[in-house]
Amino acid sequence: MRNTLIIGNWKLYGNDLIIQNLINELNKTLAEISKCLVAIAPPLLFIDRIKKNIANNIKICAQNVDIHISGAFTGDISIKMLKQIGVQYVIIGHSERRIYHKENNDYISKKYALVKSFNLIPVLCIGETELENAQGKTREVCESQIKCILDNQGIEAFKNSVIAYEPVWAIGTGRSATPLQVQHIHKCIRNYLAEQDETIAKTVTIQYGGSVNEKNAFEMINQPDIDGLLIGKSSLNATIFTKIVRIAEMKRT
């Protein structure tokens, strides 16, 4: 019913050589992947080149987008431009943007609406900090990050969209949440959406992100409410990323 979706977030890493090697490896090793959806989110500068050279079954995701379509906004990139170069998914509200660029829920909600209005797929990142986790606020924080979009755009906004649960304390730390913890919070997220519309709740893709590697991917991906993985560090190693994609391709349904 829900496709498994693996996204590799390359963040601000890579150079000509690294990117070319990654493209070559992914083209070679992922050509036969058919059940699992795969996307990569490279630094913006490389997207056009990658799009022209990557296998058709690997989709392109942007790491960010501005809230304006065009205008005097130095340094920004618009959704229209991203669409023109073949982007299909856009990461919205990654914790690194919430923290370093002070993006709040309202601002993220505007980006989300814009992505939807261009018929691209938003990947809405949500998740609690270490302190919020210790205070038992995980569910409350995740719901408030979703609520802002529900209030502004309604439940329909979650049709054909992706939520990535990424506890801030697990990103880039090597300390992943356990598969059972993740399953529990994913179920809570789905139930929260189901209060508005059960069908949409059943179809929304909920990914987990935070120190996923080839060792923890199997147990993670085989939880019933974990529909995919958003992968940072491990996606920059083609061998590891490929192993994770193969694990996801075999997800028990």
Q: Residue numbers of the site for ligand PEP (CB under 6 A)? A: 9, 166, 171-172, 209-212, 230-234
Candidate list 94, 96, 103, 128, residue with the active-site label: 94
Positive/negative CA dihedral, 235, 240, 242, 243: negative
Helix (H, G, I), strand (E, B) or coil at 209: strand
* Residue 61: CB minimum distance to ligand PEP, A: 11
* Residue 19: CB minimum distance to ligand PEP, A: 17
**38 Cβ contact partners less than 8 Å away, ≥ 6 residues apart:** 5, 6, 7, 8, 30, 57, 58, 59, 245
Candidate list 96, 103, 166, 186, residue with the active-site label: 166
Q: Does the active-site annotation cover 166? A: yes
* Residue 235: CB minimum distance to ligand PEP, A: 7
Give, for 5, the enclosing helix (H) or strand (E): strand 5-9
* Residue 214: CB minimum distance to ligand PEP, A: 12
**Judged by CB, which is closer to ligand PEP: 98, or 116?**
98
Cα–Cα separations (whole angstroms), residue 75 to 68, 70, 175: 12, 11, 34
**Judged by CB, which is closer to ligand PEP: 82, or 240?**
240
Contact criterion met (CB below 8 Å) for 26 and 45: no
**Judged by CB, which is closer to ligand PEP: 203, or 237?**
237
**Which residues are the active-site residues?**
94, 166
